[in-house]
Chain A
Amino acid sequence: MEMINLTIDKKPVVVKEGTTILEAAAEIGIKVPTLCHMKLHDMGIENKPGGCRVCVVEVEGRRNLAPSCVTKVEEGMVISTSSIRALNARRTVTELILSDHPADCLTCAKSGECELQDLAQELGIREIHYKGEQSQYREDTSPAIIRDVNKCVMCRRCEMMCNEVQTVGVLSAVNRGFDAVVAPAFEMNLDHSVCTYCGQCVAVCPTAALTEVDHTGAVIRALSDPSKTVIVQTAPAVRAALGEEFNMEAGNLVTGKMVSALRQLGFDYIFDTDFAADLTIMEEGTELLNRLSKHLNGDKDVKLPILTSCCPAWVKFFEHQFPDMKEIPSTARSPQQMFGAIAKNYFTEKINVKREDLVVVSIMPCVAKKYESARDEFAHEGNPDVDYAITTRELASLIKLANIEFKSLPEEDFDQPLGESTGAGVIFGATGGVIEAAVRTAYEVYTGKGLEKVDFEELRGMEGIREATIDFDGLDLRIGIAHGLGNARKLLEDIRSGKSNFHAIEIMSCPGGCIGGGGQPYHHGDASVIRKRMEAIYREDANKTIRKSHENPYILKLYEEFLGEPMSEKAHHLLHTAYFDRSNKIES
């Protein structure tokens, strides 16, 4: 590839052909301010509509200023990123954006995390010279996501995630000129759309135009109600990211501190969704083996591959987009919902508390879990199995609110019986983890032999679609993995057209799996954060003494005392579900 010589701010720089001015400047340590641009390195995700015009720079000999995020370098270019002309334009453009933005930073959900706020600070804006009419849109609240469109800056990141990465196609630009804004078609509400609530729009929104529905107030009310027993479950991906909210480096595992903080917050029992993940493997693994052996015995009615069903956004996605295939995914409920069902039916008996007096809170890396917990089928006479699902970010705000010095907290352990988990449960948090956990159990059950090595490296990684073949003692088990709904769509279309030959497929909606979930601390476009969380997850797994779900003693006890055996009638009733054709349905 040809190398290009150019000068940026009087410094010579040599970069590869095809590099943008923004990237070339970064190579010599010059950070040109940006707003709409976002690049998740290694994930193939990039948003660069060249729309905000904040990153404009002066290029000698060019008639107008150049947006550095989309302008490619040319031989001999002489660029000034901070000429008076460029600075004045950058500032004026930012003032224009601010002039159509509510100035409610003091109470804004995104304050401190807002990229527009940061930009205004960076440019030292103390006054907006061009004031005028501000956009007035109604707020749109759904079960999981709130759209406050007045705060939309038309960066189009959400649109890119929703269309290009997730292929859901709910969010796109509507209207023209000053009224242009990103919204569902005809500016309908999100809950009247095919939105999966994956929350990837929330994860990338630079402002508070898209945020999760806040349930912290409800959790505080429950905690302060003496008549309620409040228990909490924490999803695997949360412990690998929560530290970031307290200025800890990404990839720090804060499991013990998190438990300690939850105890200080006043939860009566601190349990682990990882326990329910082990339970999921028992059910889903058994279902896989059942379907597999029937299939191998020539039963034509049995459909393969079996698809995982832990991810609520993925479930809603196929209910809308592939309802003809709704018999293929596993009927196993997600770990969150298995936990809720066990808590409200088994644990209530254990501690002798009435169902309506037990409040189940879950801490999730996800905004779709809010929607999942509110699905009708997961409630008994109006009382939901999981009362409130809050995100990693919401938990952090609760901890800050309670004045807890997170970093100096002691490490504490989960409570029993629903707090014990294996390494298999932990890796649910990363793409490929669910299927690896299932393989660990299914292999031993199917072959009757013990695994020599529980690490299946071939199932791990960041590529959007991965495939691997595992030798099940002579049977080649073909496994597919997809993360990101766009990648899932490709695998599903292959199944629909008969091209797929997988036995089992794991699908997660969010890039990276739950560690990259819409409820996690904001990555602000730094994909290395997600990679570090992944490393932390596998580290936690490696450190566990028990690493196979079927060896979790409390799981075995649960079957012995309560459920009988995997796929038993009771298990079927409490731990499995059915899916709905939502192709022609408008949700409400």
Chain B
Amino acid sequence: MADYKMHIMVCGGSGCRASESDKLTQNLDTALQKNGLEEDVQVVTTGCFGFCEKGPVVKILPDNTFYTQVTPEDAEKIVEEHIIKGRQIKHLLYEDPNAKELIPDSKHMDFYKKQVRLALRNCGFINPENIDEYIARDGYAAIGKCLSEMTPEAVIEEIKESGLRGRGGGGFPTGLKWDITRKSEADQKYVVCNADEGDPGAFMDRSILEGDPHTIIEAMAICGYCIGADKGLVYIRAEYPLAIERLKIALDQAREYGLLGEDILGTGFNFDIELKYGAGAFVCGEETALIHSMEGLRGEPTFKPPFPSVSGYNEKPTNVNNVETFANIPVIINKGAGFFSQIGTGSSKGTKVFALAGKINNVGLIEVPMGTTLREVIFDIGGGIKDGKKFKAVQTGGPSGGCLTEAHLDTPIDFDNLIKVGSMMGSGGMIVMDEDDCMVAVAKFYLEFTLDESCGKCSPCRVGNKRLYEILDKITQGKGTKEDLDKLRLLGNVVKDTSLCGLGQTSPNPILSTLDNFYDEYLAHVEDSKCVAGQCKALMQYKIIPDACSGCTLCFRNCPVGAISGERKSPHFIDQSICIKCGVCYEKCKFDAIEIV
């Protein structure tokens, strides 16, 4: 990188690519050539910066200028104004929504201020398709250190001391898992990277693989060294084409550099990695289901024990870790267990990546130290609730997690605290809801997901979730009874208590936590036929306020089903038996004469 005077870092994550960041890169290259600057300025396609809300994102080094929502048409201006004349382009700078000030440097943005990026350390800083850039940032130093200076036992000890726990949701101590797999005797062992990320709205693993694939390769090799495996497998969703492409490029480069394959770094250690594609079944994130899917069998879980560490892929000891877990390994080796364990809380060390989504200003990918509070994440980093609405709930832990309220906002986020308040860490999905969200409908949404993603093997998950869904549906249709609320709780608890795998054991969580935290809202549905949030269409009516209606006929003319009648210049009327509650009249009315009751 030293030959260039300036670098234009363009986000090449899936989100920004969808907003034409690849075309922007091309245009930047063209503009640089036009001005004869291609020898002085380099355009680098990086992984995700995390600030997806305002993508495509561009960062210019060395001055650290951070541009947001950059279009391909802006390329010429960036070169001519910023690169040549050194003038920042005001309209591309991020404006702090509270202070209403332009913030040229990302370091000063609230979004980044509280973040500590370990797993995401290279995302946005390097070209993921160039191994040299990874190496320039200490890449493959950790595997070198392990192979030349440390015994496998010593590496495992270091991981144990770091306090790293599995980031896929279970939170199992990583060092201990490695130790168990190491101690399982077999002629063949496997390292598996679980990249079957499936929580709605979550893209932590995808971003790491797209932005920093070499870190996963390096960590898997370290794991192979520790447990005594020469074969690694990445189980990745086929719907992640960009991550697959970059991973393939990275694997080729690593082999070319002798960092994968036979006799790595001349130490006699052999290790190589194969990709296995998942077809998008959520349950295949469960490690036994994942292993069966890799074996070519139906992707459904089997009873544990035996755990994969003892009998996994092809019935051989198999160490399964999630992408984010692996991403932390080189950091721990390079900087030491002490560096890692000083970050975080008593039982949860290091950082956690979250995908912020929902009704939040800064939708995107963040990484914070364990122990950061939900309030800091949602209001400081996330920029608060969209459109100035009121915060209502936050769902953590994906479809298996729970909905937490205002009362939980000061909870420091870690594995144990989230479980204590009725939710879980999960893999890091975080969905924020505002006053317009109906919590019954939210529970129903999540259950619809798990219902669809259940493998159907065990009865409580196969039939129980269906029945839970039907009861929720009944409630949102205004046909629920108070007895149904008891049934939800009773059945939800049995499904949790009897299901075979983590999917069914947690699928009732959104229902149970909303019943705990928003019982009044459920009661309003079943006793008063009211949806406070106005989301359950069956429970609401559009009505015209006669005093406010000017008789302009706009609603009459726009109603798609002819439910509105009335004479010009006199108040109109909506026939509820015809109304389909599409809301067109409400949107069209210029006199606020239509109310939702």
CB under 8 Å from chain B, chain A span 72-110: 72, 85, 88-89, 92-93, 96-97, 99-100
Whether B466 lies near A178 (C-beta < 8 A) is yes
When the two chains form their complex, are residues B498 and A56 in contact, meaning their CB atoms are under 8 A apart?
Answer: yes
Interface residue B452 (Cβ < 8 Å from any Cβ of A): yes
A53's closest neighbor in chain B, by CB?
B498
CB distance from B504 to the nearest CB of A (A): 9
Is A64 in contact with chain B by the CB < 8 A criterion?
Answer: yes
- Known A65-B497, A65-B498, A173-B300; contact A180-B505, beta-carbon cutoff 8 A: no
Interface residues of chain B: helix, strand, loop or mixed (majority):
helix
A122 within 8 A of B: no
In the assembly, what is the distance between CA of A131 and CA of B484, in Å? 12
Q: Is A132 an interface residue (CB 8 A)?
A: yes
Residue of A nearest to B474 (CB): A132
Which of the residues A93, A180, A181 comes within 8 Å of B494, measured between beta carbons? A93
B467 close to A (CB within 8 Å)? yes
B500 touches A50 (CB 8 A): yes
User: A175: nearest residue on chain B (CB-CB)?
Assistant: B456
User: Residue A96 contacts which of B298, B467, B496 (CB distance < 8 angstroms)?
Assistant: B467
- Of B281, B283, B459, the residue contacting A52 (CB under 8 A) is B459
Indicate with 1 or 0, residue by residue over B467-486, a CB within 8 angstroms of chain A CB atoms. Answer: 10010000000000000000
A132 touches B466 (CB 8 A): yes
- Indicate if B127 sits at the interface (CB-CB under 8 A): no
Q: Is B298's CB under 8 angstroms from A89's CB?
A: no
Q: Which of A120-152 contact B (CB under 8 A)?
A: 129-133
Contact of A51 among B298, B459, B464, B487 (CB under 8 A): B459
Tell me the residues in window 41-69 of chain A with beta carbons closer than 8 Å to chain B beta carbons: 49-54, 56, 64-65, 67
CB of A6 within 8 Å of the partner chain: no
Are A96 and B464 in touch, CB under 8 angstroms? yes
Bound form: Cα–Cα A88–B494 in Å: 8
Q: Which residues of B contact A112 (CB under 8 A)?
A: none
Q: Does A179 contact B (CB under 8 A)?
A: yes
- Count of inter-chain pairs, beta carbons less than 8 A: 113
Inter-chain CA distance A181–B457, complex, in Å, is 9
Residues of A within 8 A of B467 (CB): 96, 99, 130-132
Docked CA distance A97–B498 (Å) = 13
Which of A67, A70, A173, A181 has a CB less than 8 Å from the CB of B298? A173
A177 to chain B: which residues have CB within 8 Å? 451-456, 461-462, 465-466
B500 near A64 with CB under 8 A, answer: no
Q: Is the CB of B460 within 8 A of A178?
A: no
Within the complex, which residue of B451, B458, B462, B487 is in contact with A129, where a contact is CB–CB below 8 Å? Answer: B487
Q: Which residues of the other chain, A, contact B500 by a CB distance below 8 angstroms?
A: 50-51, 53, 67
Encoded as 1 (CB less than 8 Å from any B CB) or 0, chain A from 162 to 190 comes to: 00000000001101111111000000000
Q: What is the 8 Å Cβ interface bit string for chain B, positions 492-520, against chain A (1 contact, 0 not)? A: 00101111100001000000000000000
**A154 interface residue (CB < 8 Å to B):** yes
Return the chain A residue nearest B483 by Cβ: A129
Q: Whole-angstrom distance between the alpha carbons of A115 and B108 in the complex? A: 68
Known A64-B505, A133-B466; contact A154-B456, beta-carbon cutoff 8 A: yes
Could you say which of B283, B302, B461, B498 has the most chain A C-beta atoms within 10 Å of its C-beta?
B498
Q: Decide if B97 is an interface residue (CB 8 Å cutoff).
A: no
Residues of A within 8 A of B460 (CB): 53, 92-93, 96
Q: Which residue of B lies closest to A36 (CB)?
A: B459
Residues of chain B with a CB closer than 8 A to A70's CB? 303
B305 on the A face (CB < 8 A): yes
Chain A interface main SS type: loop
User: Interface extent on A, as a size class?
Assistant: 35 or more
Q: Are B497 and A180 in contact (CB under 8 A)?
A: no
Cα distance A379–B461 when bound, in Å? Answer: 50
Contact A99 B303 (CB under 8 A): no
A90 to chain B: closest residue by CB? B498
CA distance A89 to B505 in the complex (A): 13
Report the interface size class on chain B: 35 or more
Q: Min CB distance, B419 to chain A, in Å?
A: 11
Q: Specify which chain A residues have a CB less than 8 angstroms from the CB of B505 in the assembled complex.
A: 64
Contacts of B84 in A (CB 8 A): none
Contact B491 A50 (CB under 8 A): no
B458 touches A51 (CB 8 A): yes
- Annotate B31-51 by CB proximity to A: 1 below 8 A, 0 otherwise: 000000000000000000000
B491 and A92 form a contact (CB under 8 A)? yes
In the complex, which residues of chain B have a beta carbon less than 8 angstroms from the beta carbon of A92? Answer: 460, 464, 490-491, 494, 498
Residue of B nearest to A159 (CB): B298
How many angstroms between the C-alpha atoms of A132 and B473 in the bound complex? Answer: 11
What 0/1 pattern do residues 163 to 200 of B give for CB contact below 8 A with A? 00000000000000000000000000000000000000
- In the bound complex, residues from chain B placing their C-beta under 8 Å from that of A85 are 497
Decide: B305 and A72 in contact? CB cutoff 8 A.
Answer: yes
Using Cβ atoms and an 8 Å threshold, which residues of chain B touch A173?
Answer: 298, 300, 456-457
* Cβ distance A145 to chain B, nearest Cβ, rounded Å: 22
- B301 to chain A: closest residue by CB: A50
Give the residues from 400 to 435 in chain A that come closer than 8 angstroms, CB to CB, to chain B. Answer: none
Tell me the nearest residue of chain A to B451, going by C-beta: A177
* B463: interface (CB < 8 Å): yes
Complex Cα–Cα for A51 and B452 (A): 18
Chain A 358-399 interface residues, beta-carbon cutoff 8 Å to B: none
- B289-304 near A? 1/0 per residue, CB < 8 Å: 0000000001010110
Interface residues of A in 283-342 (CB under 8 A from B): none
Q: Are B303 and A67 in contact (CB under 8 A)?
A: yes
Q: How far is the CA of A93 from the CA of B491 in the complex (A)?
A: 9
Set of chain A residues within 8 Å of B459, measured between Cβ atoms? 51-54, 93, 96-97, 153-154
Which residues in A have their C-beta under 8 angstroms from that of B466? 100, 132-133, 177-178
Would A49 and B498 count as touching, CB distance under 8 A? no
- Once bound together, how far apart are the Cα atoms of A495 and B466, in whole Å? 51
Closest chain-B Cβ to A498's Cβ sits at a distance in Å of 28
**Min CB distance, A154 to chain B, in Å?**
7
- Asked if A176 meets B494 with Cβ closer than 8 Å, knowing A50-B303, A132-B467, the reply is no
Residues of chain A lying within 8 A (CB to CB) of residue B298? 172-173
Contacts of A54 in B (CB 8 A): 459
Whole-angstrom distance between the alpha carbons of A53 and B500 in the complex? 8
Q: How far is the CB of B528 from the nearest CB of chain A, in Å? A: 25
Q: A92-B460, A177-B451 are in contact. List 9 more A-B contacts (CB 8 A).
A: A49-B457, A56-B497, A93-B459, A99-B467, A129-B487, A133-B466, A177-B454, A178-B456, A178-B463
Q: What are some 28 contacts across the A-B interface (CB < 8 A)?
A: A49-B302, A49-B457, A51-B457, A51-B459, A52-B459, A53-B499, A53-B500, A56-B498, A67-B303, A71-B303, A85-B497, A89-B497, A92-B491, A93-B464, A93-B494, A93-B498, A100-B463, A130-B467, A130-B487, A132-B467, A173-B457, A176-B453, A176-B456, A177-B456, A178-B451, A178-B463, A180-B455, A180-B457
User: Ordered nearest first, which 6 A-B pairs have the shortest CB separation?
Assistant: A180-B456, A177-B454, A96-B463, A130-B467, A132-B470, A50-B303
Residues of B whose CB lies within 8 Å of any CB of A are: 281, 283, 298, 300, 302-303, 305, 451-467, 470, 487, 490-491, 494, 496-500, 505
* Interface, chain A (partner B; CB < 8 A): 49-54, 56, 64-65, 67, 70-72, 85, 88-89, 92-93, 96-97, 99-100, 129-133, 153-154, 172-173, 175-181
